[in-house]
């Protein structure tokens, strides 16, 4: 058998990339390989394996397309943002804890709500039109040696020059890569989602806000209620979330008041749609790259700890890996210096992310978070800090540097004096903006 020469430099005309996974990370990598390759005068052969057939009833994620996804698609990937998929726009968040809520208007940084897998289909279709060979069926085996990589899938085997692991947190596939490389999957939290149909008129009457809850519930670190056009998506996250925890979350008065009682009852009695626990990464994978392999998206875990825009991170890491393969190479060194180091802001922010998570868990455990919301309701600076925390634009380190830790503690304590809590606190928006929508009527 003729072996390939060992070339770990930038990909050359005709070399082959094998991508496992056709989620946003895999498709973005494929699109960027084709786009940038053409600009550099090289035709890269891209083979992408996708093992799941998603349909209208698929429930994989919420489907919020958060900033800066529009810029990522249009500027980094060179594809149009699919406005036709947008069902609703989101202008901000409500943060709830116990009796207190605060409204955080994102100042024109809109998010969009779409069917949860619509963007995957759009990007995969785009990749296919650009000449990527999309093979249906799951990959069952991976081999990587000095000279080539090969995979065996339900739709046949392929040999290539480099492997891109874009398989999300698929346990089986992570196991395959762990067997043949030092790759170790990221630690994860789990989320359960419920799709609760509600009358369209009711949903249209709800504000264009996502509701984030930080309840004192032990197993639930946070919960989110997202209004779509025909239903609510409710998801809870934690280390060990269960359907029972979801039911208890839905019964919390502050959650129950958002969803019509009839809709909740109908969903409950019909044994409504609930996902199994779905993992999402808490921190980066170990050895997420090496000679002839690189992981992207959730498989790499290069996401801002505790922040929500995983689709954007998947697209950014997929596109960056493609650029590195075409310009720096497919060796361990190329991926270390040009791919992994490109995300050093995320890596350096990990200790801060962990500290924030511990603080939130501590606050939930001791019922302190309502006080934070109460104090923030009286201080515009604290509101801005919360907006920064939720938006994902800045690292935690940057937020603390910009606002000053001691200053924040001072403002928080000042906000608590005098401690005369009203039943509900709303802040952040001038009166004119506050009339844009109304909270679910109940």
Residues contributing to the site for ligand FAD (CB under 6 A)? 20-26, 49-52, 61-64, 66, 138-139, 166-168, 170, 173, 191, 193, 235, 278, 280, 297-299, 308-311, 314
185 HSE (CA, 13 A, CB side): 23
CB neighbour class for 379 (10 Å; exposed up to 12, middle 13-18, buried from 19): middle
Q: Which two tokens stand for residue 331?
A: 């060796």
DSSP state of 257: T
* CA nearest to 35, candidates 326, 361, 442: 326
The residue (of 7 and 115) whose beta carbon lies closer to ligand FAD is 115
- Shortest distance (Å) from residue 383 CB to ligand FAD: 24
Q: Identify whether 433 is preceded by a cis peptide bond (ω within 30 of 0).
A: no
The residue (of 24 and 353) whose beta carbon lies closer to ligand FAD is 24
Q: How many CB atoms lie within 10 A of CB 221?
A: 20
The residue (of 168 and 353) whose beta carbon lies closer to ligand FAD is 168
Cα angle, residue 421 at apex, residues 419 and 427 outer, rounded to 5°: 110
CB neighbour class for 430 (10 Å; exposed up to 12, middle 13-18, buried from 19): exposed
- Shortest distance (Å) from residue 177 CB to ligand FAD: 10
- Shortest distance (Å) from residue 168 CB to ligand FAD: 2
The residue (of 35 and 235) whose beta carbon lies closer to ligand FAD is 235
- Shortest distance (Å) from residue 62 CB to ligand FAD: 3
219-223 contacts at long range (C-beta below 8 A, 24 or more positions apart): 219/245, 220/245, 220/249, 221/189, 221/357, 221/360, 221/361, 221/364, 222/360, 223/249, 223/255
Q: How many CB atoms lie within 10 A of CB 10?
A: 16
Cα 194 to chain centroid distance, Å, stands at 17
- Shortest distance (Å) from residue 218 CB to ligand FAD: 19
- Shortest distance (Å) from residue 139 CB to ligand FAD: 4
- Shortest distance (Å) from residue 154 CB to ligand FAD: 8
The residue (of 93 and 374) whose beta carbon lies closer to ligand FAD is 93
CB neighbour class for 197 (10 Å; exposed up to 12, middle 13-18, buried from 19): middle
Phi/psi of residue 422, nearest 5 degrees: -80, 170
The residue (of 95 and 193) whose beta carbon lies closer to ligand FAD is 193
Q: Which two tokens stand for residue 71?
A: 């810029």
The residue (of 195 and 411) whose beta carbon lies closer to ligand FAD is 195
Helix (H, G, I), strand (E, B) or coil at 384: helix
Distance CA 114, CA 416 (A): 39
The residue (of 165 and 260) whose beta carbon lies closer to ligand FAD is 165
- Shortest distance (Å) from residue 310 CB to ligand FAD: 2
The residue (of 44 and 114) whose beta carbon lies closer to ligand FAD is 114
The residue (of 64 and 356) whose beta carbon lies closer to ligand FAD is 64
* CA nearest to 143, candidates 10, 18, 22: 18
- Shortest distance (Å) from residue 390 CB to ligand FAD: 13
DSSP 300-363: TT-S-TT-S-HHHHHHHHHHHHHHHHHHT-SSHHHIIIIIGGGGHHHHHTHHHHHHHHHHHHHH
- Shortest distance (Å) from residue 8 CB to ligand FAD: 24
């Amino acid at each position: 058998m003729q072996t390939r020469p060992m070339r770990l430099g930038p990909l050359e005309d005709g070399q082959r990339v094998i991508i496992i996974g056709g989620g946003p990370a895999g498709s973005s990598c494929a699109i960027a390989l084709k786009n940038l390759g053409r600009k550099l005068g090289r035709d890269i052969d891209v083979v992408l394996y996708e093992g799941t057939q998603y349909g209208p009833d698929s429930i994989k994620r919420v489907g919020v397309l958060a900033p800066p996804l529009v810029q990522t698609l249009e500027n980094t990937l060179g594809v149009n943002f699919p406005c036709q998929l947008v069902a609703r726009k989101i202008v901000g968040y409500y943060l709830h804890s116990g009796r207190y809520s605060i409204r955080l208007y994102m100042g024109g940084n809109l998010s969009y709500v779409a069917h949860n897998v619509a963007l995957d289909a759009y990007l995969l279709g785009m990749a296919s039109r650009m000449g990527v060979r999309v093979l249906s069926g799951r990959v069952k085996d991976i081999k990587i040696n000095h000279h080539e990589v090969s995979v065996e899938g339900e739709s046949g085997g392929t040999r290539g020059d480099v492997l891109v692991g874009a398989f999300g947190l698929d346990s089986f596939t992570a196991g395959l890569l762990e067997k043949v490389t030092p790759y170790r999957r990221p630690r994860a939290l789990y989320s359960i989602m419920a799709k609760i149909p509600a009358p369209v008129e009711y949903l249209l009457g709800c504000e264009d806000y996502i509701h984030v809850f930080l309840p004192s519930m032990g197993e639930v670190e946070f919960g989110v209620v997202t209004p779509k056009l025909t239903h609510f998506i409710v998801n809870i996250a934690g280390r060990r979330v269960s359907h029972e925890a979801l039911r208890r979350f839905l019964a919390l008065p502050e959650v129950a008041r958002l969803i019509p009682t009839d809709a909740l009852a109908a969903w409950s009695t019909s044994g409504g749609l609930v996902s199994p626990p779905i993992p999402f990464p808490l921190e980066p994978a170990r050895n997420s790259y090496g000679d002839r392999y690189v992981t992207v998206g959730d498989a790499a875990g290069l996401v801002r700890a505790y922040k929500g825009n995983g689709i954007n991170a998947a697209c950014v890491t997929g596109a960056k890996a493609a650029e590195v393969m075409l310009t720096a190479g497919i060796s361990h060194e190329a991926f270390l210096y040009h791919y992994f180091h490109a995300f050093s802001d995320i890596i350096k922010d990990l200790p801060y992310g962990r500290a924030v998570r511990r603080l939130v868990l501590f606050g939930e455990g001791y019922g302190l978070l309502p006080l934070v919301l109460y104090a923030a309701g009286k201080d515009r600076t604290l509101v801005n800090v919360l907006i920064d925390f939720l938006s994902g634009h800045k690292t935690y380190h940057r937020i603390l540097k910009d606002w000053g830790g001691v200053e924040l503690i001072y403002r928080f304590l000042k906000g608590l004096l005098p401690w005369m809590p009203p039943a509900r606190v709303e802040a952040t928006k001038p009166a004119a903006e506050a009339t844009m929508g109304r909270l679910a009527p109940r």
